[in-house]
Amino acid sequence: MTVLEAIGKRYSCRAYQDRPVEPEKLDSIFEAARLAPSAKNMQDWRFVVVTDKAKKGRLAEAASNQMFIADAAAIIAACSNSDHVMRCGQAIGPIDVAIALEHICLQAVELGLATCWIGSFYPEMVRAVLGIPDNIAVIELMALGYPADKPKEPRREPIENILCYEKWQF
Ligand SMILES: Cc1cc2nc3c(=O)[nH]c(=O)nc-3n(C[C@H](O)[C@H](O)[C@H](O)COP(=O)(O)O)c2cc1C
């Protein structure tokens, strides 16, 4: 599978099989995350993988009751231990974590797995479930598992709406 094929196959999976992810697959998924680039190579990401059924249920409640994530084999709580802001004014934590998470998504595709980004959640609730300290930002949750649904055609803007060359032409 080429990288572009993996990108094309990734979709937001909202129905999962009741089937665990093999430990070696989890290892390779987090190796993909570990190899991601980060600002100043700070590697400020920290991941908590949750497979316990009761905890997944509580995380689903914390995710605005998006209960489908409780059916995923794993929920990844993606955190950052950095509050560093780059000269451009952007915080590195969410950017670095997002890059690593997309590596996770693409490696999951390669392994026949599916994912869903989850940004709609209450971080304080997630913190309470997982014992995440106050100085650590909970950036995103991600559901991971074997899909029980079928990929949908992606709805995307045509390239001319998002790309120009040499100067701003939108
Ligand atoms: C940062 C981020 C947060 C998201 N949060 C949620 C979410 O809380 N619940 C959900 O079902 N999908 C969530 N999504 C998935 C998007 O809705 C989805 O990526 C988008 O509609 C495009 O569809 P596709 O991923 O199937 O291509 C999120 C995606 C991103 C990138």
- List pLDDT tens digits, range 118-156: 999 999 999 999 999 999 999 999 999 999 999 988 999
Residue with tokens 């196959």, as numbered in its chain: 9
Residue to mutate, 116, 126, 150, ligand 1, most ligand atoms under 8 Å from C-beta: 116
pLDDT band at 59 (very low <50, low <70, confident <90, very high): very high
- Span from the CA of 166 to the centroid of ligand 1 (angstroms): 31
Distance between CA atoms of 114 and 107, rounded to whole angstroms?
9
- Span from the CA of 14 to the centroid of ligand 1 (angstroms): 10
- Span from the CA of 117 to the centroid of ligand 1 (angstroms): 5
Q: Whose CA is nearest to atom 27 of ligand 1?
A: 11
Mean pLDDT, residues 152-166 taken together: 96
Run of H or E including 137: strand 137-145
Mean pLDDT, residues 41-56 taken together: 98
pLDDT band at 163 (very low <50, low <70, confident <90, very high): very high
pLDDT of residue 48: 98
pLDDT of residue 16: 98
Q: 46: closest CA among 82, 22, 72?
A: 82
Kindly report the length of the chain. Answer: 170
Mean pLDDT, residues 97-108 taken together: 98
Run of H or E including 99: helix 92-110
- Span from the CA of 27 to the centroid of ligand 1 (angstroms): 24
Residue with tokens 């995103």, as numbered in its chain: 140
β-sheet bridge partners, residue 79: 46, 138
Mean pLDDT, residues 90-97 taken together: 98
117 touches 72 (CB < 8 A): no
Say what the pTM is: 0.97
Ligand 1 binding residues, C-beta < 6 A? 11-12, 14, 66, 116-120, 152, 154
Terminal C-alpha separation, the chain? 34
